[in-house]
Amino acid sequence: MLVLLVEDNRDLAASVLDFLELQGFDCDYAQRGDHALQLCQDNNYEAMILDIMMPGLDGLNLCRELRAQGKNAPIIFLTARDTLEDKLEGFDAGADDYLVKPFDLPELEARLKAISKRRTANSTSLKVADLEANLDNHEVFRNKQRIDLSPACWKLLIALMQASPRVLSRQELESVLWKDSPPDSEALKSHMYTLRKQVDKPFDKNLIHTLRGVGVALRDTSDA
């Protein structure tokens, strides 16, 4: 995971970098806000840790600029400014978290992970309600019970889980299986039928919901 640290205090930066790299993060470092902005044009950081008071471009404006550019990687402010107003200004600038100095390195790590976990689409396991899919070993469990799926059903389920709770249209589902040249038959219905039979039928709560005229959604709706 590639992280950018922007901090004008070299000593502090060094200890943070040491720690994060020890924990397995890939880190880039900038000492000035304007340099950081430059780095962001060329790299796709998965998270950023920003000081506020810095030469060149302060952290708040750096954050605002990045957000204005449509970059929405998680941002944590790391600063000595600890008043309520400071914090609100930070969140208002588009930050995801705000940590006041002095701080513990493990807390920074925990917050970094917490804030990044939502974006990690490359996570090896998907979970929706009691349904779990492990992308690495190609396994699906519901309620701790293994489910064997055919390749087609697997693809459909993964697509639905990744989209959850969004609805996928018939067309989107077809393109999952056949890219852009779907058979001119009702093959999709067939596969969906098989998928439901395995994923929903044996259990007392349906996760696969049909939205007539729209498509299919996989979600945990608390109602019937």
Partner DNA sequence: TGAAATTGGTATCAAATTGGTAAGCAATGA
Partner DNA sequence: TCATTGCTTACCAATTTGATACCAATTTCA
Could you list the residues that contact its own copies (CB under 8 A)?
41-44, 69-72, 84, 87-88, 91-92, 95-97, 104, 106-107, 110-111, 113-115, 118-119, 121, 123, 127-132, 136-138, 146, 150-151, 154, 165-167, 211-215, 217, 219-223
CB 128 within 8 A of CB 159: no
Closest CB to its own copies among 54 and 168? 168
Q: What is the 3-state secondary structure (H, E, C) of 148-179?
A: CCCHHHHHHHHHHHHHCCCEEEHHHHHHHHHC
The partner in contact with residue 38, picked from its own copies, DNA, none with C-beta cut-offs of 5 to 8 angstroms by kind, is: none
Closest CB to DNA among 43 and 171? 171
Q: Could you say which of 184, 204, 222, 224 contacts DNA (CB under 7 A)? A: 184
CB of 127 to its own copies, least distance (A): 5
Cα(116)–Cα(39) distance, integer angstroms: 20
Cα(179)–Cα(171) distance, integer angstroms: 10
Closest CB to its own copies among 102 and 184? 102
The partner in contact with residue 130, picked from its own copies, DNA, none with C-beta cut-offs of 5 to 8 angstroms by kind, is: its own copies
Cα(192)–Cα(179) distance, integer angstroms: 17
Paired tokens of 181: 């040249």
CB of 67 to its own copies, least distance (A): 9
Cα(153)–Cα(199) distance, integer angstroms: 10
CB 25 within 8 A of CB 47: no
* Contact residues: DNA, CB under 7 A: 148-153, 170, 177-178, 183-187, 189-194, 196-197, 210, 212-216
